[in-house]
């Protein structure tokens, strides 16, 4: 086996590399020379395994910290954290700041380690060397400081730097003071992080569009503001988009406990589905189908609809689709709208089991609605039904569970004229 040191270039980033020639793989130990990325990091290298002929490498397993990792810190390694006895009252009173255990979140390191929960085989998978770059878009309104920071750090610390064009944080007119100058100041230490403070409340849907409009990456990756991206999460998503730019790739959404902040994996083989009247849900692929089709844990899962919070989409394709219907208000139904549009316009929605991102699920959605929450969501869904469901919209209106009458919902005007050459529905 020969070993040579030379300077190599990988996707525009100059690196000193030690090449070790082996029988099948060329192992490349890469030293990053990007000072911005290395600042404050205690790790300056990672290993890339390039195959010699195919232009591919094994998914990078990157996990860096800002300071020497404290193995005894609360919540470290994704373990459950506990509120000390004398802090119970304080923890209780702070719950409402985010509808989860905010007190514990503040105790846990913003760059804690979590278990690599990927199914066996994921770390051996190959992805292309020339993956597209991505802009990460994280929208928030009054998000808790420590969970927002943990979301951003998990992206910075577990993504190959050359694939992150930028991280855009869209502040949807938050009222919390700490999300203004203090956040700007904190994020100024990370040159790739950009803040966009909206001057009025846009709602999640229009806030995402504001981020998308200024994004410079090839792919848009939308994330919630209370997540933790796991190791190797990004490349498998971008690989799917590289394979076909009309693929919309979603990670498996794992669970960060709202009570003890522990990071928990979820059952495999879950698909995103909806039940009438267009409620999103998860359903496991039946065991007999898994057996019959010999589906493996690492296999891509095609889904009729996506949950909507976390996904990667080719930027040009997103705009070709007409982005989100701007007539949708605040939050709700936008995942249905985009899902229907993708499938009817030549695309596919996939869950990528080798990409895992933890998310704090809460009993009460603290997202504030300027108007009535249920009415807003139902109007959004009716709009989606009117535009995309053709005669199937009767199933939506005809179903129990809606509080508004159809006439109360359909009092908006359509401007939909996508000209997309879709199939499966009639243009209104």
Binding stretches for Mn ion (CB under 5 A): 224
Q: Measured from the CB of residue 310, what is the shortest distance to Mn ion in angstroms?
A: 9
Q: Measured from the CB of residue 361, what is the shortest distance to Mn ion in angstroms?
A: 7
If the CB atoms of residues 49 and 176 are measured against Mn ion, the closer one turns out to be 176
If the CB atoms of residues 232 and 358 are measured against Mn ion, the closer one turns out to be 358
CA separation for the pair 247, 404 (Å, rounded): 35
If the CB atoms of residues 165 and 359 are measured against Mn ion, the closer one turns out to be 359
Q: Classify residue 264 as exposed, middle or buried by CB count within 10 Å of its CB (0-12, 13-18, 19+).
A: middle
Question: H-helix or E-strand containing 204?
Answer: helix 203-214
**Kindly report the CA angle at 373 between 365 and 275, in degrees rounded to 5?**
75
Q: Measured from the CB of residue 5, what is the shortest distance to Mn ion in angstroms?
A: 45
If the CB atoms of residues 224 and 337 are measured against Mn ion, the closer one turns out to be 224
DSSP per-residue codes, 286-299: PHHHHHHTT--TTS
If the CB atoms of residues 360 and 387 are measured against Mn ion, the closer one turns out to be 360
If the CB atoms of residues 224 and 334 are measured against Mn ion, the closer one turns out to be 224
If the CB atoms of residues 98 and 217 are measured against Mn ion, the closer one turns out to be 98
> Which distant-in-sequence residues (6+ apart) come within 8 Å of 49 by Cβ?
25, 26, 27, 28, 57, 58
> Residue 327, CB half-sphere, CA atoms under 13 Å: how many?
19
Instruction: Please give the residue whose beta carbon sits closest to Mn ion in the complex.
Output: 224
Alpha-carbon distance values, 98 to 7, 92, 94, 151, 262 (Å): 47, 12, 8, 15, 16
Q: Measured from the CB of residue 148, what is the shortest distance to Mn ion in angstroms?
A: 12
Q: Measured from the CB of residue 312, what is the shortest distance to Mn ion in angstroms?
A: 17
Check if the beta carbon of residue 272 is closer than 8 Å to that of residue 307.
yes
CA separation for the pair 402, 417 (Å, rounded): 27
Helices and strands, number each (H, E), in the chain? 13, 18
Q: Measured from the CB of residue 362, what is the shortest distance to Mn ion in angstroms?
A: 8
Q: Look up tokens 């990004």; give the residue.
A: 234
Q: Measured from the CB of residue 402, what is the shortest distance to Mn ion in angstroms?
A: 24
Q: Measured from the CB of residue 367, what is the shortest distance to Mn ion in angstroms?
A: 8
If the CB atoms of residues 62 and 144 are measured against Mn ion, the closer one turns out to be 144
Q: Classify residue 133 as exposed, middle or buried by CB count within 10 Å of its CB (0-12, 13-18, 19+).
A: middle
**Kindly report the CA angle at 161 between 339 and 152, in degrees rounded to 5?**
65
If the CB atoms of residues 99 and 129 are measured against Mn ion, the closer one turns out to be 99
Q: Measured from the CB of residue 199, what is the shortest distance to Mn ion in angstroms?
A: 24
DSSP, res 319? H
How many residues can be counted in the chain?
428
């Amino acid at each position: 086996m020969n070993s040579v040191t030379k300077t190599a270039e990988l996707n525009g980033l100059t690196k000193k590399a030690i090449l070790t020639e082996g029988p099948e793989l060329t192992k490349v130990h890469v030293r990053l020379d990007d000072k911005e990325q290395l600042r404050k990091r205690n790790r300056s290298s990672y290993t890339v395994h390039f195959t010699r002929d195919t232009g591919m490498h094994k998914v990078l397993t990157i996990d860096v910290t800002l300071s020497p990792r404290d193995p005894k810190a609360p919540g470290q390694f994704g373990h459950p954290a506990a509120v000390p006895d004398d802090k119970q009252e304080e923890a209780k009173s702070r719950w409402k700041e985010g509808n989860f255990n905010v007190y514990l979140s503040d105790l846990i390191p913003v760059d804690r380690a979590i278990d690599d929960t990927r199914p066996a085989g994921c770390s051996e998978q190959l992805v292309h060397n020339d993956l597209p770059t991505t802009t990460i878009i994280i929208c928030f309104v009054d998000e808790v400081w420590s969970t927002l920071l943990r979301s951003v750090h998990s992206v910075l610390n577990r993504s190959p730097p050359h694939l992150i064009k930028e991280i855009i944080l869209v502040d949807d007119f938050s009222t919390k003071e700490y999300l203004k100058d203090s956040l700007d100041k904190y994020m100024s230490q990370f040159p790739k992080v950009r803040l966009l403070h909206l001057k009025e409340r846009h709602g999640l849907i229009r806030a995402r569009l504001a981020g998308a409009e200024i994004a410079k990456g090839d792919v848009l990756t939308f994330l919630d503001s209370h997540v933790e991206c796991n190791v190797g999460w990004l490349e498998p998503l971008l690989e799917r988009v590289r394979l076909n730019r009309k693929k919309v790739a979603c990670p498996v959404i794992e669970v960060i406990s709202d009570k003890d902040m522990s990071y928990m994996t979820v059952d495999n083989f879950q698909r995103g589905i909806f039940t009438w009247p267009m409620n999103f849900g998860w359903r496991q692929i039946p065991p007999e189908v898994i057996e019959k089709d010999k589906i493996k844990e690492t296999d891509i899962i095609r889904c009729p609809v996506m949950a909507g919070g976390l996904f990667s989409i080719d930027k040009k394709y997103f705009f070709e689709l007409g982005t989100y219907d701007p007539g949708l208000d605040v939050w709700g139904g936008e995942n249905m709208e985009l899902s229907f549009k993708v499938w009817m316009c030549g695309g596919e929605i996939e869950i990528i089991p080798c990409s895992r991102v933890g998310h704090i699920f809460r009993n009460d959605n603290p997202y504030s609605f300027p108007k009535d929450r249920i009415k807003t969501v139902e109007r959004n869904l009716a709009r989606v039904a009117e535009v995309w469901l053709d005669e199937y919209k009767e199933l939506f209106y005809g179903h129990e569970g809606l509080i508004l009458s159809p006439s109360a919902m359909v009092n908006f005007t359509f401007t939909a004229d996508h000209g997309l050459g879709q199939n499966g529905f009639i243009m209104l």
